[in-house]
Chain A
Amino acid sequence: EPEVTQTPSHQVTQMGQEVILRCVPISNHLYFYWYRQILGQKVEFLVSFYNNEISEKSEIFDDQFSVERPDGSNFTLKIRSTKLEDSAMYFCASSEGPNEKLFFGSGTQLSVL
């Protein structure tokens, strides 16, 4: 079965540093998403992306966050100046269309020290 690939699997960074989390969605999918899960808490929606623009974003997705599809295959999440509370597992997902199933990647564990 096709899968969403995320790199790196673990990322450790210092507070205030910029990080870029990378994702390769499934090739024929058109909708892309980032979710995150703080340890022991719920999976939270961050942002959805379609047709090269943000479709919807949550309150968590403030000015420190940005997303980009730099080429035809990658989808990235950038955190400009990381905070301790950004430490979480970040999941990328993609789908063929609205109301279709989401395929999630295995996540990037981000630790901000």
Chain B
Amino acid sequence: DAKTTQPTSMDCAEGRAANLPCNHSTISGNEYVYWYRQIHSQGPQYIIHGLKNNETNEMASLIITEDRKSSTLILPHATLRDTAVYYCIVGSNDYKLSFGAGTTVTVRA
């Protein structure tokens, strides 16, 4: 599975959009981009995933560049409850999600 690179941490103001970048320059054609988050020590929580097209659901939007070498997760209106570690994962199936260190997002009031 392709590796991903994410910033170690970022801050966001409550009510503002949070844009989380992820680089995956070695992604191959059949690999999906998945985003999960982990709040404190809870189990990881699925946010969104996509292959080529941009995706949106009730939690977030996923923007994938045309060359698929990077993507951005957008939390449209961050709340304090969105404080978590966010993981960008690339893989061709979900038999084996490889979690990295992720981005620690702190939403401040």
Determine the distance from Cα of A103 to Cα of B44 in the docked complex, in whole angstroms: 8
Spell out B's residues near A (CB within 8 Å): 32, 34, 36, 38, 41-46, 49, 87, 93-101
Determine the distance from Cα of A95 to Cα of B48 in the docked complex, in whole angstroms: 14
Determine the distance from Cα of A50 to Cα of B98 in the docked complex, in whole angstroms: 19
Determine the distance from Cα of A48 to Cα of B95 in the docked complex, in whole angstroms: 6
Closest to B101 in A: A42
Describe A's contact surface by its main secondary structure: strand
B44 touches A101 (CB 8 A): no
Spell out A's residues near B (CB within 8 Å): 4, 31, 33, 35, 37, 42-45, 48, 55-56, 58, 89, 91, 93, 95, 98-107
User: Which of B44, B49, B98, B101 has a CB less than 8 Å from the CB of A104?
Assistant: B44
Query: What B residues does A107 contact at CB under 8 A?
Result: 41-43
Asked whether A95 and B99 contact (CB < 8 A) given A101-B46, A105-B43, the answer is no
A91 touches B93 (CB 8 A): no
- Output the residue of A91, A95, A102 with the most chain B CB within 10 A: A102
Determine the distance from Cα of A45 to Cα of B34 in the docked complex, in whole angstroms: 15
